[in-house]
Amino acid sequence: MDIGLIGLGKMGGNMRERLRRAGHAVVGYDRNPDVSDVASLEELVEKLPSPKVVWVMVPAGDPTRETVEALSDLLGAGDVVVDGGNSRWTDDLIHAELLEKKQIGYVDCGVSGGVWGLENGYALMYGGSAEDVAKVQPAFVALKPEATDLGDFGAVHAGKVGAGHFSKMVHNGIEYAIMQSYAEGWELLEKVDLVDNVTEVFRSWREGTVIRSWLLDLLVAALDETPNLEGIAGYADDSGEGRWTVEAGIENAVATPAITAALFARFVSRQDDSPAMKAVAAMRNQFGGHAMKTEPPAGGDVAPD
């Protein structure tokens, strides 16, 4: 298929490459001319055959809203916009209503996989009408993980518009809680003068235990790089989905104590250097390339937010 892709950062750039490896024609646009295939959104749209499919991978909030509004003036009836960023699901309803006035379809897609998605595939959770989803389906197939002997997983039509980002929001809330548990366990094992090699204990858990996971694999990888997580500040940002998950729990009277505690722990980390938060920061860097707060080098600045 032919597809336009707006935003060629860590995620978008790798997604363009994975789509091209699957044989799809991708026209990419980014404000950075060094990575962009075209000079403008107008040129991107002109290069696509109809019905046009344009996938947006820019930061949530104003950048996404501005991009969707611009596309509403450039696309026509039967075309489809996909928001693959980390937008809040309530924004999807606004975007879909705006585009519907011009008979342009809208699909929201939560994407998980971080910097590893190029090789491993991306987990995709998408919402929208069956008609609109069908126009994007070849891209979903190319981006998701390949089927294995265990089954064909990694992509789901979660429901109507908003369902994709709502599902991704809850996914990230769960991620917060799992990461916090690993981090607290690491700190406790390090604190007690009993275990000789904490990294090897975590490594042993990668097979045969009920707590094995990819996040555990990534924590071990981080500990292999820096066994004591030296140079990493005990500070962890939150990207928004954790807060939104807690707010949704409150709005729907669903208790989320583990997710809430993990979110609050990140807030606390910004007030005091936390050993557990060093582990959380290291895991976030491993799967998403998220910046870590580090001590400044001689004559230099600290790592950016």
Predicted TM-score (pTM) of this structure: 0.85
In the set 52, 135, 144, 175, the catalytic residue is: 175
- If asked whether residues 155 and 208 sit together in one domain, one would say no
Q: Indicate the number of domains in the chain.
A: 2
- If asked whether residues 85 and 205 sit together in one domain, one would say no
- If asked whether residues 157 and 185 sit together in one domain, one would say no
- If asked whether residues 67 and 106 sit together in one domain, one would say yes
Alpha carbons 280 and 222: distance in angstroms, whole number: 10
Residue 168 falls in the annotated catalytic set: yes
Mean pLDDT by 10 residues, the chain (305 residues): 96 96 98 96 97 96 97 98 96 98 98 90 97 98 92 95 97 95 95 95 97 94 90 80 94 96 87 79 78 44 40
Residue 179 Cα distances to 23, 102, 125, 266, angstroms: 36, 43, 21, 11
- If asked whether residues 191 and 152 sit together in one domain, one would say no
Is 191 inside any structural domain? yes
Alpha carbons 13 and 189: distance in angstroms, whole number: 39
Is 302 inside any structural domain? no
What are the tens digits of pLDDT across the range 51-83? 999 999 999 999 999 999 999 999 999 999 999
Range of the domain at 68: 2-161
Measured in residues, the chain has a length of: 305
Alpha carbons 199 and 213: distance in angstroms, whole number: 15
Alpha carbons 60 and 202: distance in angstroms, whole number: 35
- If asked whether residues 35 and 157 sit together in one domain, one would say yes
What CATH number corresponds to the domain at position 230? 1.10.1040.10
- If asked whether residues 188 and 129 sit together in one domain, one would say no
What CATH number corresponds to the domain at position 53? 3.40.50.720
What are the tens digits of pLDDT across the range 234-284? 777 777 889 999 999 999 999 999 999 999 988 887 776 778 888 888 888
Is 39 inside any structural domain? yes
* Residue 209 burial (10 A CB sphere; 0-12, 13-18, 19+): exposed
In the set 144, 168, 278, 293, the catalytic residue is: 168
By C-alpha distance, which of 45, 44, 96 is closest to 68? 96
Residue 251 falls in the annotated catalytic set: no
Domain boundary pick from 124, 145, 161: 161
Alpha carbons 106 and 96: distance in angstroms, whole number: 5
- If asked whether residues 23 and 131 sit together in one domain, one would say yes
- If asked whether residues 256 and 193 sit together in one domain, one would say yes
Is 277 inside any structural domain? yes
